[in-house]
Amino acid sequence: MRVMALDIGKVRCGVAICDPRESVASPVCVLPTNEVVGNAASFRRVLEDWEPDMLLSGLPYTMAGEEGPQAQRIRAAAGAIAKATGLPLEFTDERLSSSEAKRSLREKGYHEREMRGKVDMIAASLFLQAWLDERRSRREAEESAPSSSTGTR
């Protein structure tokens, strides 16, 4: 299944995608949020190019684990995007993904101005990769868990 992650900001929306085997998340692009929410041609082109089966939106949580102040706006925007595309939608914790993306870009020698167009798509790929890893871990744990029936009478 191909999952497309969206890091929905007030101005920009970072887009990332995973491979069909759900192993690796990769940054794709950054688009104006209003184009993504409005299902503009630029976003439809990205959808056509990558053919996702599902959308995953980052949701900002506080360090205490509660939904942050932007969560309601992001839920509404993501819901509108899912409705316009007809794709199923899930949410995941995006806590610290933008900070981690900035740190990664700084390590690669980028300056603040150069980062502006890249942070959102890298943040989307980071929370998508974390979501994929967690999903894989759960699947592996379920497969290795002993079954509830022992077969004895």
> Tokens 């914790």 sit at which residue?
93
Amino acid 96: pLDDT: 66
First and final CA of the chain: distance in angstroms? 41
> Distance between CA 73 and CA 79 in Å, rounded?
10
Using CA atoms, how far apart are residues 128 and 100, in angstroms rounded to an integer?
Answer: 13
Of the candidate CATH numbers 2.60.40.1120, 3.30.420.140, 3.40.720.10, 3.40.640.10, the domain formed by 3-131 belongs to 3.30.420.140
CA gap 17, 88 in Å, rounded: 15
Q: What is the mean pLDDT for each group of 10 consecutive residues in the chain (153 residues)?
A: 96 96 96 95 98 96 83 95 97 79 76 77 93 90 73 50
What was the pLDDT predicted at 71?
92
pTM comes to: 0.84
Q: What is the per-residue pLDDT for 149?
A: 56
pLDDT of residue 147: 66
Q: What phi, psi does 70 have (nearest 5°)?
A: -90, -5
